[in-house]
Amino acid sequence: MIELKQVTKTYDTGKGALKAVDGVDLSISSGEIFGIIGYSGAGKSTLIRLLNGLEKPTSGTVQINDQVITAIKGVELRKARQKVSMIFQHFNLLWSRTVKENIAFPLEIAGVPKNKRDARVMELVELVGLTGRENAYPSQLSGGQKQRVGIARALANDPEVLLCDEATSALDPETTDAILDLLVDINKRLGLTIVLITHEMHVIRKICHRVAVMEGGRVVELGDVLSVFQAPKEAITKRFVAQVTETEDSNETIKHLRELYPTGDLVKLVFVGDQTEQPILTKLIRTNPVEVNIVQGNISHTQRGAYGTLILQLKGTREEIANAIAFLNNENIQTEVMAND
Amino acid sequence: MIESLFPNVDWGKMWDATVETLYMTAMSTFFTFVIGLVLGIILFLTAPRQLWANKIVNWLTGAFVNIFRSIPFIILIILLIPFTKFLIGTIRGPNAALPALIIGAAPFYARMVLIALKEIDKGVIEAARSMGATTWTIIRKVLLPESKPALISGITVTAIALVGYTAMAGIIGAGGLGTLAFLDGFQRSREDVTLMATILILIIVFAIQFIGDLITIRSDKR
């Protein structure tokens, strides 16, 4: 539904040209939650603004459904924007308007008559869970509530696409999760396509189906969230994945674990998807005479399944341990011996 | 009591002069507000990277504002005599003071409007654009309401300056408390008349400040 073809955006910065977005090809399907992750300056803010024509590309085309966003302007572009709405890191609410009036703003722009506006606003207030706060001014709301107003405002004209510009970066972890849950809910209930940019892998892990990693204006890695978590290819992706998995397999940690568990083999197991729901350990113990001790574990849930690591201490003879590892590999679990006797 | 403190004050004349001063201030404040607002919005929107970015219009408006803001008011009145004569038909009386008052104060207010608009969060304008708003909608529903407290406190300061300008205009025969204080008070050495005119001007200034502050606070929901 969203097609980007060879999109490049160059800024003239006095000191020469700066390529903010460099030859990006992307294809996002309908109903998908698509994440774009990158550090600041990676070009993701520019990229997301190309999708609603707030920025014009230097070359390349952006197409949403059958409308080429890069080719339209004036009335046509303004009409298109009502179907591709946006929420922002700093909410960007009008402080001079109440919650109700802020949500009514896009309806006023779309020329919806007053009586229909009021009904729609109340519907949206309820949808985002702000019932009772509709007459408050933004200054009287918490960050999470402000973002809920932002979301309600973005949904007012029944958009097909919701663009999220670092929508949770200014919120605390708990509020972030609540807002992310709301986005997933909206995605499921309204079948809305969501494109979000962020620098937090947590956001990608929690709600995205697919992810694109951006660096220096280019998309350096792209794929299903689960497979990117399982096998990140680029160094930058590995760093982002480490943000949330944090199985610290640095030499320091291994040495520390070795001190705590001085005997046997320390083995790291990597689970992906379905395996996390299987009673692997039970099977392992029943079929192998090794002694099993759980040292450390960590499971992350993504929209496409779970991903986790588990560090075990295995005690037994060389052969018994080798058999146990062979058994795990047979069950499609990646293993890595971190330390042995 | 008052009669003995101000023996030379003709209360009828004093009242007429007060009404004239109020009339000049109100009329000039109104037109200054409208013209200053238009100039300020043009200055804001034609600046680089803004919605109507246009170097030539921005430069011309900026030059006009800067020139008329810099000419001392008393000189501006004299410079504008032919223009006033053409427009109003006379150079005496309250109406004749208006062109100079407005041309002197509107550029001053335009600068304040520009400062007020620059204070608006750019993200809010971007949000309105992302919803498909036209520039006209952005002016009416974003720029003006979001800068309202600053626009009101700006016009309060300008209106007070205009009270002072009307008094100056009084010296060349515009009427009002300035004329009264100068002709009846100063030139005839009747200090009590000058003092009474001053007191009335002070009351007008304080009243404007009070009303302005009240509206500013009421309109600020931040």
Mutation for B interface: A92, A140, A164, most B CBs within 10 A: A92
Average pLDDT over residues A279-284: 85
A92-101 pLDDT per residue, tens? 999 999 999 9
**Banded pLDDT at B2 (limits 50, 70, 90):** confident
Do both A152 and A230 map to the same domain?
yes
Query: What's the rounded mean pLDDT across residues A130-138?
Result: 95
CATH (domain of A295): 3.30.70.260
Query: Nearest 5 degrees, angle CA A54-CA A60-CA A63?
Result: 65
Q: Domain for residue B211, yes or no?
A: yes
What is the DSSP annotation of B67-97?
A: HHHHS-HHHHHHHTHHHHHHHHS-SSSHHHH
pLDDT above 80 (res A244):
no
CATH number of the domain enclosing B143:
1.10.3720.10
Domain boundary among A244, A276, A309: A244
Is residue B36 predicted with pLDDT exceeding 80? Answer: yes
Whether residue A76 sits in one domain with residue A49: yes
Provide the 10 A C-beta neighbour count for residue B32: 25
Q: What percent of chain A has pLDDT over 90?
A: 61
Q: Note whether A205 and A264 are same-domain residues.
A: no
Structure confidence by residue, pLDDT tens digits, A16-66:
888 999 999 999 999 999 999 999 889 999 999 999 999 999 999 999 998
How many angstroms separate the CA atoms of A53 and B194, rounded? 64
CA A153, CA A87: separation in Å to the nearest integer? 9
Which among A79, A95, A97, A146 is the top mutation candidate for probing chain B, defined by the most B β-carbons within 10 Å of its own β-carbon?
A95
Query: B142: nearest CA in chain A?
Result: A94
DSSP state of A204: H
Pair A177, A33 in one domain: yes
Q: Give, in order, the Cα–Cα distances in Å from A4 to each of A48, B47, B196, B218.
A: 11, 32, 76, 48
Domain-embedded: residue B181: yes
Q: For B98-109, what is each residue's pLDDT tens digit?
A: 999 999 999 999
Domain tally for chain B? Answer: 1
From A220, A244, A268, the end of a domain falls on A244
User: Are A240 and A253 in the same domain?
Assistant: no
| Residue A332 vs residue A149, higher pLDDT | A149
pLDDT tens digits along A180-217: 999 999 999 999 999 999 999 989 989 999 999 999 99
User: What is the arrangement of strands in the sheet containing A334-339, beginning at the earlier edge strand?
Assistant: A291-302, A305-315, A265-272, A334-339
Distance (Å, whole) CA A7 – CA A21 = 7
Q: What is the pLDDT of residue A250?
A: 58
The string of DSSP codes covering A179-197 is: HHHHHHHHHHHH--EEEEE
- Residue A18 contacts by C-beta under 8 Å, 6 or more apart in sequence? A10, A11, A12
For residue B21, is it within any domain? Answer: yes
Is A109 close to B121, i.e. CB distance below 8 A?
no
- Bridge partners of A293, per DSSP, are A313
Q: How far apart are the first and last CA of chain B?
A: 49
Q: What is the DSSP string of A236-296?
A: HHHHHHHHHH----SHHHHHHHHHHS-SSEEEEEEEEGGGGGS-HHHHHHHH---EEEEEE
Least confident of A75-79, A151-155, A296-300: A296-300
Is B5 inside a domain boundary? no
Cα–Cα distances in Å, from A208 out to A100, A152, A186, B101, B200? 30, 20, 13, 62, 70
Domain span including residue A172: 2-244
- Same domain? A104 vs A238: yes
> Are both A224 and A253 inside the same structural domain?
no
pLDDT digits (tens, 9 = 90+) for B136-191: 999 999 999 999 999 999 999 999 999 999 988 887 788 899 888 888 888 888 88
Average of per-residue pLDDT values in chain A: 90
A107 neighbourhood in chain B, CB within 8 Å: none
pLDDT at site A276: 65
Residue B31 belongs to what domain range?
A: 11-219
Average of pLDDT values for B75-89?
Answer: 89
Could you tell me if A190 and A253 lie in one domain?
A: no
| Residues ≥6 apart with Cβ < 8 Å to A278 | A331
Looking at residue A69, which CATH number applies to its domain?
3.40.50.300
In chain A, which residues touch B (CB < 8 A)? 52, 54, 77-82, 85-86, 88, 90, 92-97, 105-106, 108-110, 137, 139, 153, 157, 163
**Residues A254 and A247: beta-carbon distance below 8 Å:** no
- The predicted model scores a pTM of 0.85
Domain count, chain A: 2
Q: Same domain, yes or no, for A25 and A173? A: yes
Query: Percentage of residues in chain A with pLDDT exceeding 70?
Result: 96
Tokens encoding B202: 């002070």
Last residue of a domain, one of A219, A244, A269: A244
* Cβ distance of A79 and B142 shorter than 8 Å: no
**Structure-block tokens of residue A247:** 């199985």
